[in-house]
Amino acid sequence: MEILIVLVVLAAVVVVILASSVKIIPQARTANIERLGKYQRTAGAGLTLIIPFIDRMLPQVDMREQVVSFPPQPVITEDNLVVSIDTVVYFQVTDAKAATYEIANYIQAVEQLTTTTLRNVVGGMNLEEALTSRDSINSQLRLVLDDATTRWGLRVSRVELKAIDPPLSIQDSMEKQMRAERDRRAAILTAEGTKQAQILTAEGERQAQILAAEGDAQARVLGANAEAEAIEVVFDAIHGGQADSEVLAYQYLQQLPKIAEGQANTMFVVPAELTRALEGLGEAFGPGARRSGGQDGAGADEGGSPASDSAAGREDAALGTRRALRGSRPTTVEALRSSGVLEAMTGGAVTADDMPQTSLDEALATPQGLDEPTEPGPVPGTAPAGTTQPPR
């Protein structure tokens, strides 16, 4: 029985010894093995055998890239402003032996080295440069840390600045500056928009004024042509009908009511020819006027002189000329544009230099010769001296 107990104890001891001599190292990790307190080798991932009670395996070292975020560090800039900077360091252990035996705590060493290097780099910049030069700061930190940690068996791949927090007073000033800059840009954009709107409005008004002026010019020309056409038609009708003094007197009487129109008419000017026209009208409506007029007209037709025939021919020729001119005068907008009259009126045919310039003093001055006595002339309706007036 005692022998059985001894055998069981020996078997248990053998199992413990064998279990302690077999080690399994996971992937991406390594372990340093010491024999009798001295570095013996570095074991990689997989199954590793050690001699119990002689070899000792140190804690495993992670060979993957690690990310360490350090707490905010106060840094003084060149313009004596204290800013708080958070940093993130990306590094990887490349030599487990150096990381174990060259430095006691490589993570703490990297943190302190990052803080010192950051203060040296940012201390030579002002606040504005520090805020706008993050890439430059990251590059300088990475170079310094990579050079210093190489002998520790580390490789620093990246260094990033998470945040740069200036003092609260500086943050307020920066917000005011940013607001003022945005207000300035908004004012510039508003001014540009107003300028473009005014330019477009002025261009539209100019085009409208040009079109209105062209329309006014066409309307005036067409109105003048129409009025001239009407005058010539009336003139031709009067001369074609051979109107006598009785018809003219009747027209005078028809126009008299229009002279009296209006409330401000207190004085009427009656032409001197009106009295003679009224006398002729009275004779026309008197007894025997039609008969005598017809006999006189017949006698004139029978005994017409060559002078009257030549005058009638000249009158007919003038009438034909006026009708020809009336036929060529433009009375529509299309005819006016094709005739070239509007271009002659608006194209600079007569410039301001060609017109006589008269000053205000010359226009208001009294014409010469008004103060000199004038010789009395013949009174209208009387015969000059030396002549006799025929009876009416």
In a domain, 197, yes or no: yes
Residues 221-238 pLDDT 10s: 888 888 888 888 877 777
pLDDT of 192 reads 93
Banded model confidence at residue 65, pLDDT cuts 50, 70, 90: very high
pLDDT of 379 reads 43
In a domain, 375, yes or no: no
Q: Please indicate, yes or no, whether residues 215 and 122 belong to a single structural domain of this protein.
A: no
Q: Please indicate, yes or no, whether residues 142 and 180 belong to a single structural domain of this protein.
A: no
- Write down which residue in 38, 60, 82 finishes a domain: 60
Q: Please indicate, yes or no, whether residues 69 and 128 belong to a single structural domain of this protein.
A: yes
Residue 220: partners with Cβ closer than 8 Å, 6 or more residues away: none
262 or 54, which is more confident? 54
Q: Please indicate, yes or no, whether residues 26 and 71 belong to a single structural domain of this protein.
A: no
CATH of the domain at 68: 3.30.479.30
Residues 127-165 pLDDT 10s: 888 888 888 888 888 998 988 898 999 999 898 988 888
Q: Please indicate, yes or no, whether residues 120 and 136 belong to a single structural domain of this protein.
A: yes
Q: Please indicate, yes or no, whether residues 134 and 73 belong to a single structural domain of this protein.
A: yes
In a domain, 311, yes or no: no
- Strand duo 65-76 + 46-49: pairing: unpaired
Q: Please indicate, yes or no, whether residues 83 and 154 belong to a single structural domain of this protein.
A: yes
pLDDT of 91 reads 92
- Counting residues of the chain whose pLDDT is more than 70, the rounded percentage is 62
Q: Which token pair is 64?
A: 């993957």
What is d(CA 249, CA 278) in angstroms, rounded to the nearest whole number? 6
Q: What is the mean pLDDT of residues 364-375?
A: 51
Q: What is the DSSP string of 55-73?
A: EEEPPPEE-SEEEEEEEEE
Q: What is the mean pLDDT of residues 75-102?
A: 90
In a domain, 143, yes or no: yes
- Write down which residue in 60, 77, 105 finishes a domain: 60
Q: How many distinct structural domains can be found in the chain?
A: 4
Indicate left, alpha or beta for 288 from its phi (over 0: left) and psi (-120 to 50: alpha): left
Q: Please indicate, yes or no, whether residues 44 and 79 belong to a single structural domain of this protein.
A: no
Residues 151-208 pLDDT 10s: 999 999 898 988 888 888 887 887 888 889 999 999 999 999 999 999 999 999 999 9
In a domain, 115, yes or no: yes
Q: Please indicate, yes or no, whether residues 42 and 14 belong to a single structural domain of this protein.
A: yes
143 or 319, which is more confident? 143
- Write down which residue in 115, 140, 166 finishes a domain: 166
Residues 227-277 pLDDT 10s: 888 888 877 777 776 666 666 667 767 776 776 666 655 565 555 555 665
269 or 290, which is more confident? 269
pLDDT of 355 reads 44
In a domain, 310, yes or no: no
pLDDT at 365 over 60: no
Domain hosting residue 117, numbered range: 64-166
Q: Please indicate, yes or no, whether residues 18 and 54 belong to a single structural domain of this protein.
A: yes
In a domain, 387, yes or no: no
pLDDT of 176 reads 86
Q: Please indicate, yes or no, whether residues 184 and 107 belong to a single structural domain of this protein.
A: no
Q: Please indicate, yes or no, whether residues 56 and 68 belong to a single structural domain of this protein.
A: no
Range picked from 50-54, 316-320, 324-328 for highest mean pLDDT: 50-54
In a domain, 124, yes or no: yes
pLDDT of 318 reads 60
246 or 60, which is more confident? 60
CA separation, residue 56 to residues 12, 39, 103, 195, 369 (Å): 21, 9, 20, 85, 144
pLDDT at 380 over 60: no
pLDDT at 337 over 80: no
